[in-house]
A and B are shown apart, each in its own frame.
Chain A
Amino acid sequence: MNTEINGIIATYLLTVIIAFPLGKYLAKVFAGEKVWTDFLCPLESIIYKLSGINPKQQMNWKQHMKALLTINSVWLIYGFFVLIYQDKLPLNPDGNPGMTPDLSFNTIISFVVNCNLQHYSGETGVSYLTQHFVLMFLQFTSAATGIASAVVLFKAFREKSTTQLGNFWELFLKSITRLLLPLSLIVALILAFNGTPASYESKDQFVSMEGDTVDVSRGPAAQFVAIKHLGTNGGGFFGANSSHPLENPNYLTNMVEAISQMIIPMAMIIAFGYFIRKKKLAYTIYAVMTLGMFMLLVPSIIGETAGNPAIAALGVDQNHGAMEGKEVRFGAVATAYWSTITTIVSTGSVNGMHDSTMPLTGLWQLLGMMINSFFGGCGVGILNYFIYLIIAVFISGLMVGRTPEFLGHKVEAREVKIAALVTLLSPFLIMAGTALASFVLVSYPNADWAVKPANWLNNPGFHGFSEMLYEVTSANANNGSGFEGLGDNNIFWNVVTGVILFLGRFLPIIGPVAIAGLLGQKKYIPESAGTLKVDTITFSIMTLAVILVLNALSYFPALALGPIAEYFTLIK
C-alpha cells in the first residue's frame, strides 16, 4: 500500500512541477511575447492564409462569441453526418455500422462540447475514420475553444479599459499549435512505446493457452489517448476507457495520463496571473482550488482503500481495497486519485469503473462535477470559477455596503444578473433532468425504446437513482464519465443529455466572457482604501464559502437520495 501512496504523491508533484512553467509560457504565447516555439510562425501563417483569416483583426467580446459559435456549428453539422454514414466511408476495417440519428446527435454534441459522454463502445460503435476525423479532431478543437474563450477573459483585464480583446482565430489556433499538438506528440509517443497500439491495423485473432479463439480490438489509440487527456476530453478509444490494458498499459502510462489531464487546467490559472500582471490573485485562486481538490481527494482514497464492508463481511481479505471495477496494475489508491481529478477537471476518463466505487466516493465524484471549477476543464474551469468570483464580489459588496468592484471595474446589475443566471443553470439542468428521468422510469417503464426504461438501471435501490443523477450531472458538467451500468443508448438519454450538454457548455462560456467584456470596457477606477481586495486570504475563504454554500443548497436533497442513502444502508 505504501508504494501505492508514493505513486500518487509522485504523480501530483510532477503535475505541479510541469504546470507552473507551462502557465508562464502560455501567458507569453497569448500576450504575443517571444517564446521558443516561435519557429512555428510560418506554419501558422500558412494556415491563416489558407483559411482567409487576418489574425491581426481585433474583436470585441460579441464578435469572439459569434466566431466561436459559427465554427462550433460547422463541426456539429459535419460530424453528425459523418457518424451516421461511417459504415459507407473508408477506414472501417472492423466493418462497424453507422450510428442511429439520435446516437449521432448525442455523440457529436458530446464531443463538440468537450464532454465525451459516450453512449457507444469504441470497439463496435465507430470506425478508425470517425475515431480520428471526428472524435479526435474535436478533442483538439473543443479544448482549444475553451482555452481561447478563457484568454478572451484574460484580455479584458490586462489593460485598464479596453474593447480590443484579440482575434478569436489566433487564440484558437495558437492553443493547438503551441500547446495541444506538441504535447500530444510527446504523450502519444510515450504511450506507444509502452504498449498502446498506434497503427491502423484491424482486430487481431489468436488461440489462447486454453485453446479459445479470441479477437483483440486494436487501432490507432495512442494518438487519441494523448489528446483525450491533455484536452480534458476523456472519451475512450476502447469501451473501458483508460482501464483498458491497451489504452493504459502500465503504471508509468497511468501517471502520464493522470498528469496530462491536469497540467493545462492548472497552467491556465498561473497564466491568468502572469497575463493580467496580478500573480497574487492567481496564487490565491490556485490555493482555493487545491484546497477544494484535497477535500474531495483524501476521503476518496480513504474510502476506496478501506474496501467494501459488504465483501469484508464475507471474510475476504480487503488489504488491497475495493477492487470491483479496478485494475490490479493501478491499485485502489491510484484509481481513487484518478476518480477525483477526472471529476474536478472535467476530463471524464476513468481508469476504474465509477459505478462500482464506494457510495461516498461516488458522492465526491458527483460534487467534483457539480462544482466543476476546482481547476476544471481546459479553459472553462477558470470561466466557471470566475462566475463564483463575481457572486462572491457581489455578496461581499452587499456585506460592506459598497458598490462591488472587480479589478478596478464596477460590477453592476447587468453583470450580476448574468452571473446569477449561469449559477442557476446547473442546478436547474441537473435537477430537472434527473426528475424527468425518474418520472419516465416510473411512469413509462415499458416505453418501446432501444433500452426500455424498466431496464435502464444496472443496480437496484438508491444506487440506481445515483446512476441517473450521475449521468445528468456528468452531461451538465461536460465531464463525460458515467455510472456506466446505465442503459443510456436510447432516444430518451441521447436526446435529454444532448440538450443538457449543449446548454451546459455554451451558456457557461458566453456568460463569463460577456461579463468580462462588459467589465473591461467600463471606466477604470484606481484602487483606494475602500477597494475590496480580491487577492487576499479573507476573500479566498469568502469565495470558497460561496462555492460550498451554493452547491450544498442546490444539490443536497438529490445527493441525500442517492449516495448518502446508499452509504447508510451499507454500513448498517
Chain B
Amino acid sequence: MKSYIFQSIRLTLVLLVLLCVIYPVSVAFVAKFSKGAGKGEQSFFNRKVVGYKAVGQSFSDPRYFWGRPSAVSYNAAGSAGSNKGPSNPDYLKEVKSRVDTLLKYHPYAERKDIPADLVTASGSGLDPNISVEAADLQVRRVAELRGFSLSQIQELVIENTEAPFLGFLGPRKVNVLQLNIALDQISTYHEN
C-alpha cells in the first residue's frame, strides 16, 4: 500500500512535466506559425485592429448590418447563452419584442422574412455569423441609409457569404464584422 502512495506521487510529478509543460509548450510553439500566431486572428480596418475575425461584436447602428442578439452583449471577456427554455413565457415576450423592433426598422418586410437566428441569442453570445436570409432582410435598410443601390449592397452580401465547408458540408453564413468592414470600405470610396 505504502509503495502505491510513493509511486502515485512520483508518477504524478513526472506526468505533470510531460503533459502540462512539454505537450502544451510544443503546441504553442508550432502554433506561432499559424495565421494569428496562436493568439487569435484579428480583423483590420484602415490598418487599425477592429476586432477578432471569429468573435462577433455588437452592431446597433442602422447603417451597419446587425448580428444576432447576445446574452452577454458581445462582451468577449466572458461568454454565455441565454439558457432560456423553449416554453419560458418571459423569453417568448422578449423574442416578440425583437420581432417588433425588426419590423419597425424594416417596414418593407413581413414576419415570415425574419429568420429565427436574428431573434434568438446564440450559444456563446459571441456568434460572428448570421444566416444569408438575415443579411438579405437588412440589405434594403442599409442601402437606403447609405445611399447605395439595392444591387450594390446585395452584391456585397454575396461576396461576403461563406460557402459550406468544402462546398457541401454545413451551413452557408455571413460574417457580420467582415461584411461591415467591406461596407465601410465601399462607403469611404463612395464619399470620396
Contact = CB atoms under 8 A, between A and B. Distances in A.
B16 interface: yes
Contacts, number: 386
Interface string B79-110: 11111111111011001100100000000001
B53 interface: yes
Interface string B137-181: 000000000000000000000000000110011111100010011
Interface stretch (A29-37, A207-215, A278-286): A207-215
A455 interface: no
A192 B30 contact: yes
Interface stretch (A131-139, A390-398, A429-437, A543-551): A131-139
A309 to B, nearest CB: 8
B79 to A, nearest CB: 4
Given A71-B8, A314-B111, A320-B117, A193 B31 contact: yes
B24 A566 contact: no
A132 B24 contact: yes
B114 to A, nearest CB: 5
Given A51-B7, A216-B76, A222 B58 contact: no
B16 A212 contact: no
A528 interface: no
Interface string A232-262: 0000001110011110011110110000000
B157 to A, nearest CB: 14
B64 A210 contact: yes
A485 interface: yes
A328 B86 contact: no
B75 to A, nearest CB: 7
Contacts of A70: 1, 4-5, 8
B171 A328 contact: yes
B119 to A, nearest CB: 6
Contacts of A100: none
B41 A195 contact: yes
Nearest to B5: A70
B8 A209 contact: no
B39 A201 contact: yes
Interface residues of B, number: 106
A218 B79 contact: no
A483 B88 CA distance: 14
A538 interface: no
Given A123-B78, A240-B125, A246-B40, A323 B120 contact: yes
Q: Find the residue from A214, A223, A324, A466 having the highest chain B CB count within 10 A.
A: A324
B11 A484 contact: no
B184 A315 contact: no
A134 B95 CA distance: 41
B169 to A, nearest CB: 4
Given A193-B31, A244-B124, A321-B116, A356 B15 contact: no
Interface in A24-72: 47, 50-53, 66-67, 70-71
A47 B16 CA distance: 12
Given A215-B75, A325-B121, A458 B84 contact: yes
Interface stretch (A103-111, A151-159, A346-354): A346-354
Given A6-B169, A246-B54, A317-B112, A239 B123 contact: no
Contacts of B20: 132-133, 136-137
Contact of A330 (B77, B126, B170, B184): B170
B169 A350 contact: no
B68 to A, nearest CB: 7
Nearest to B60: A210
Nearest to B167: A3
Interface string B28-48: 101110111111111001001
B133 A209 contact: no
Given A240-B80, A356-B83, A245 B41 contact: no
A51 B6 CA distance: 8
A218 B57 CA distance: 16
B27 A222 contact: yes
Contacts of A188: 27
Interface of A: 3-4, 6-7, 10, 47, 50-53, 66-67, 70-71, 73-75, 78, 121, 123-124, 132-133, 136-137, 140-141, 169, 173, 176, 181, 184-185, 188-189, 192-193, 195, 197-201, 203-204, 206-210, 212, 214-218, 220, 222-223, 238-240, 243-246, 249-252, 254-255, 307-308, 310-311, 314-331, 334-335, 350-353, 355-359, 458-464, 466, 483-485, 566, 569-570
15 contacts: A51-B10, A71-B11, A197-B40, A204-B40, A214-B76, A220-B28, A245-B124, A310-B87, A320-B131, A323-B120, A327-B122, A328-B171, A353-B81, A358-B86, A566-B86
Interface of B: 1, 3-12, 14-16, 18-20, 23-24, 26-28, 30-32, 34-42, 45, 48-61, 64, 68, 74-89, 91-92, 95-96, 99, 110-117, 119-131, 133, 164-165, 168-173, 177, 180-181, 184
